Amino acid sequence: MLLLIIGGSVFPLTAGHAQGPIQLTYQVNAQVSVFGNDFIKARELAVSMGFKSALEKALRNFIGDEKFDANQKSFGKTLRHAERYVQSYRFIEAVDDPIGKTSEVVMQVTLFPNALGSSLSNTGISVGSVSSKKVVILISEKSLTSSETLSFWDVLPISEAALAQNFSEQGVSLIHRDLVKETVSEENVLAAVNGDVNAAVQIGLKVGADIVILGNAIASRLESRAEATESAIQTTISVRVISALTSTVIAAKSEFSTAYNEELLAGELEAFGGASRKLSQFLLRSLERYWKAPSASKDIQDSQPEVPSPVMPPSYMEDL
């Protein structure tokens, strides 16, 4: 049985609300008035209203009308950003009436599988089978020992594996990249890695992760003294931490490390390991503060905060 938790009180979800498959596709319609003969803007507003209607229907179906109405105020900001929970949609009918000055749409809207749990968690309402403390880590890495011709999904980056191990050792629940690969396109991941917050949010909603950690890593060989037998390997890992529940960047950080080894792979493993350990300490503290923060501070923001681009270290600098 699934349990609904509202303000610390636990309610069993009765038949019809959480028994069996959750409905994810809804047919909705919306009609809006046209001002200034701007039918394009009116159509966009009608579509937005359709998304809101679909998400509201899903929530009512999931928790019941009584519980939804009792907590309707809590869902205000979630419903205003309903498009973030929409996986796909198609028009069944779209009619612009130039005489009556209205625009009407009838749509079929499909929500992300984890949209309901995410939207409930965002309002302080959670479901026993849905955890808001799941993390997914995805790093695009340029390594000295791996081929640049391989696609993003064809290789597990050393930096990503090191970060994942550090998080797992601290008891953080991780979603493996194999699950992400099954549900998210490489194009979407690369867009998120390169700074697209909306793409990162979509990844989190698709795979059921509250936190999405994305970034880039690079390894380079530093110039060595002529008599030196070891290679100096410097690695840098730069990441952003994004909350899928609030669509905000909650942390950003770069770390680097240098290692000396006769073998490139061993040097990369050591250097990426050093950078990841330092980075993990910062990230874990950031997540601890985020998860402990009052729910009011996690409201979805209408604009994203400016996060400065990570600064790369000098080309030759020993690890501090």
Predicted pLDDT at 69: 84
Q: What domains are there in the chain, each with its CATH number?
A: 3-127 (3.30.1660.40), 134-298 (3.40.50.10610)
Q: Of the spans 86-90, 162-166, 222-226, which averages the highest pLDDT? A: 162-166
C-alpha span between 37 and 101 (Å, rounded) = 8
Contact 77, 137 (CB under 8 A): no
In this structure, of 18-22, 81-85, 175-179, the range with the lowest mean pLDDT score is: 18-22
pLDDT of 186 > 60? The answer is yes
The predicted model scores a pTM of: 0.59
What is the arithmetic mean of pLDDT over 215-230?
76
Backbone angles phi, psi at 126, to 5 degrees: -125, 160
In this structure, of 59-68, 89-98, 192-201, 213-222, the range with the lowest mean pLDDT score is: 59-68
Contact 51, 82 (CB under 8 A): yes
Share of the chain above pLDDT 90, in %: 38
Predicted pLDDT at 124: 53
C-alpha span between 107 and 180 (Å, rounded) = 28
145-166 pLDDT per residue, tens: 887 778 888 888 999 999 999 9
Q: Is 294 strand, coil or helix?
A: coil
* Helical segments of 208-302, H only: 264-292
C-alpha span between 212 and 240 (Å, rounded) = 8
